[in-house]
Amino acid sequence: MAPRPDERSGEAGRLWGEPPSATRTDRVVTLPNALSTLRLAGVPLFLWLVLTERDALAIAVLMVSGTTDWLDGKIARAWNQMSRLGALLDPAADRLYILATLVGLTVRGVVPLWLTAALIGRDLVLAGFLPVLRRYGYGPLPVHFLGKAATFNLLAGFPLLLLGEGDSLVSRVAHAFGWAFAIWGTSLYLWAGVLYVVQVQRVVSSARQDETGSDVVRTGRSPL
């Protein structure tokens, strides 16, 4: 018998390296989910602050976002409040902050268009695999630790690039470190995308084998 979609989601998590003890519930009203929702609500405010060059306030919003990102994960694990909704909200907030930062900094000429195109293009390519996963009963795959490291580097580098817009010594140092984080984060982000594609191939291949096995049991015939 082929596994149900919820069973397949757990299988995908194990293939992706998620701990077996990481169980998620269907709970919606939890403190981690509230913190993730707060982060999402801050995205348009952050973008407006960047576009209007209120850099100090924009960085403050990003710092609050980073703090709540750390807190919601800690609380979810400590209080056993890991949920399927939270697993969607958390990476969604990360991607939206990255997108908002890229849009704002590109409009202001702080980052080049090619960098923005590379990062957004990566997400668009991965989004194209979601229908394939759903075809075999899977939801979005869990975020890989490499993707988390990439997000950390990008969200650390972009504020430093904002600080690097001045002419002071501090600004020049921030500019150098900002680009170091941004380049390293971009490399990890793209590599994590490659690993995601490989993982999609693995789980789809596993699902096809399950379907083939079910057909053999049901018909008593092996596929040609």
The two structure tokens encoding residue 30: 């939890």
- For residues 191-212, b (16+ Cβ closer than 10 Å) or e, as one string? bbbeebeebbeebbebbeebee
Give the list of residues 6+ apart from residue 45 with CB closer than 8 angstroms, or none: 61
Least confident of 22-26, 37-41, 126-130: 22-26
* Cα separation, 95 vs 189, whole angstroms: 11
> Is the pLDDT confidence value at 114 over 90?
yes
Given a cut of 50, is residue 223 above it in pLDDT? no
Q: What is the per-residue pLDDT for 80? A: 79
Position 97 pLDDT exceeds 80: yes
Mean pLDDT, residues 130-142? 82
| Tokens describing residue 148 | 């988390």
Q: What is the pLDDT of residues 70-89, one digit of tens each?
A: 777 788 778 877 777 777 88
Task: Please report the pLDDT score of residue 48 as a whole number.
Answer: 94
Q: What is the CA radius of gyration of the chain?
A: 20
% of the chain at pLDDT higher than 70: 82
Provide DSSP, 50-65.
HHTT-HHHHHHHHHHH
Whole-angstrom CA distances from 96 to 43, 44, 46, 125, 157 are 7, 9, 10, 16, 16
User: Residue 192: what pLDDT?
Assistant: 93
Helix (H, G, I), strand (E, B) or coil at 25: strand
Q: State the pLDDT at residue 76.
A: 77
Average pLDDT over residues 48-59: 90
d(CA 165, CA 59): 13
147 pLDDT exceeds 60?
yes
CA-CA distance, 43 to 33, in Å (whole number)? 16
Taking the alpha carbons at both ends of the chain, their separation in whole angstroms is: 20
Question: At how many degrees (to 10) do helices 55-78 and 84-107 cross?
Answer: 170
Residue range 179-190, pLDDT digits in tens: 999 999 999 999
What pLDDT shows up at residue 3? 46
What is the pLDDT confidence band of residue 7, given thresholds at 50, 70 and 90?
very low
Q: Is 28 helix (H, G, I), strand (E, B) or coil?
A: coil
User: Of 1-5, 111-115, 165-169, which gets the smallest average pLDDT?
Assistant: 1-5
Quote the CA–CA distance of 183 and 189 in Å, as a whole number: 10
Average pLDDT over all residues of the chain: 80
Which domains are delineated in the chain?
A: 5-219 (1.20.120.1760)
